[in-house]
């Protein structure tokens, strides 16, 4: 997938037309859309084409349980066009975006929902608003590791196979990580047969061969609760935001930093302010991005050889480029 041309103006008009809509109006499904059921899916594909010769696969894996539903709602109402514009400004000429929904594998009705990689505003919006927002929450940790598993083993991206360039995986959440990918859950929800469970550390290492992975926590309160456990796994790729409203801008900032689209974090924040963002919001985004920017030497300090997690943000043993 990933065909068609993107129009930022049309995307802005679409989001503005629903700015006052209730979340229940935007996300009206009462179960998993049949086209988003991962069972039996071989691959989701992000492909080059005449219109998009330099495609780049980007996944938003969104926790859709409880209060986490505010992030997909804000994307649909306001900020997804801002993310796309930031991609274009960062020199990512052909972004292709896939949306996932994540819930609790042993308790939710639709714990894993999978869209397609898309390039047009209409189709991106379609998959986003087809997500079933489970609500509720509780009963166990959300199954973020299943999103990693699907991304690592059930996607094909020309950016990777043709150019050795990893895609981006942004997971939003507010629960601790599960210790392993469950072979039982994988078989039930995706259909794959595994010999054994996959420890979470191994799953992250496998995911990083194809993607630049990040875990985005909505606010400092939830960051205090679950941030340490995620930092033990992902280091400064665990990003604690000031507000869930910042998700698009934080994700765009991470891409801009890794794609060398800005010389420093200060330059990125100035770009946001010049585009009309309040200084307060921009400062919050800068605070959230500072730890990761430091691993790249983009906060004014020398770059260390490795991030605090041991994950190298700029290269790895596979030889893949950023």
Domain presence at residue 310: no
The three-state secondary structure class of 199 is: strand
pLDDT for residue 5:
87
Domain presence at residue 271: no
Contact in structure between 110 and 134 (CB atoms under 8 Å): yes
Domain presence at residue 28: yes
- Mean of pLDDT values over 12-31: 91
C-alpha 288/C-alpha 23 separation (Å) is 26
CATH number, domain containing residue 79: 3.40.50.410
Domain presence at residue 118: yes
Report the predicted TM-score, pTM, of the whole model to 2 decimal places: 0.92
Q: Which domain holds residue 65?
A: 8-260
Domain presence at residue 286: no
At 254-299, the pLDDT tens digits run: 999 999 999 999 999 999 999 999 999 999 999 999 999 999 987 6
At 121-162, the pLDDT tens digits run: 999 999 999 999 987 655 678 999 999 999 999 999 999 999
- C-alpha distances (whole Å) from 178 to each of 70, 155, 156, 187, 229 are 23, 22, 26, 17, 10
Burial of 300 (0-12, 13-18, 19+ CB in 10 A): exposed
- Judged by average pLDDT, the poorest of 72-86, 114-128, 226-240, 301-315 is 301-315
Domain presence at residue 137: yes
DSSP code for 69: G
Find the helix or strand (DSSP H, E) in which 94 lies.
strand 94-102
In terms of DSSP H, where are the helices of the chain? 8-16, 23-26, 70-74, 80-89, 121-130, 144-153, 158-163, 183-189, 200-208, 220-234, 247-258, 265-274, 279-295
Residue percentage of the chain with pLDDT more than 70: 91
C-alpha 316/C-alpha 288 separation (Å) is 24
Q: How many domains does the chain have?
A: 1
Domain presence at residue 2: no
Domain presence at residue 321: no
């Amino acid at each position: 997938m990933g065909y068609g041309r993107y129009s930022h103006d049309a995307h802005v008009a679409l989001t503005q037309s629903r700015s006052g809509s209730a979340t229940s109006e935007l996300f009206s499904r009462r179960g998993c859309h049949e086209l988003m059921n991962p069972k039996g899916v071989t691959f989701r594909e992000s492909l080059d084409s005449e219109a998009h010769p330099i495609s780049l696969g980007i996944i938003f894996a969104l926790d859709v349980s409880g209060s986490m539903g505010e992030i997909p709602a804000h994307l649909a109402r306001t900020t997804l066009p801002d993310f796309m514009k930031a991609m274009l400004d960062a020199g990512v000429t052909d972004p292709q975006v896939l949306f996932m929904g994540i819930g609790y594998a042993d308790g939710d009705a639709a714990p894993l929902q999978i869209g397609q990689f898309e390039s047009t505003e209409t189709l991106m919006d379609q998959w986003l608003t087809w997500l079933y927002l489970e609500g509720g929450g509780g009963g166990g940790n959300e199954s973020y590791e299943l999103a990693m598993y699907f991304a690592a083993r059930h996607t094909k991206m020309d950016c990777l196979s043709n150019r050795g360039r990893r895609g981006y995986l942004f997971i939003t959440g507010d629960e601790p990580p599960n210790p392993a990918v469950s072979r039982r859950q994988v078989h039930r929800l995706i259909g794959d047969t595994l010999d054994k469970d996959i420890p979470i550390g191994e799953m992250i290492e496998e995911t990083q061969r194809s993607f630049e992975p990040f875990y985005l926590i909505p606010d400092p309160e939830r960051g205090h609760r679950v941030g340490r456990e995620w930092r033990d796994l992902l280091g400064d790729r665990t990003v604690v935001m000031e507000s869930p409203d910042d998700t698009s801008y934080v994700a765009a900032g991470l891409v801009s930093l890794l794609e060398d689209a800005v010389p420093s974090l200060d330059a990125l924040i100035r770009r946001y302010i010049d585009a009309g963002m309040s200084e307060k919001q921009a400062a919050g985004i800068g605070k959230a991005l500072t730890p990761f920017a430091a691993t790249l030497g983009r906060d004014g300090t020398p770059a260390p050889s490795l991030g605090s997690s041991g994950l190298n943000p700029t290269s790895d043993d596979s030889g893949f480029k950023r």
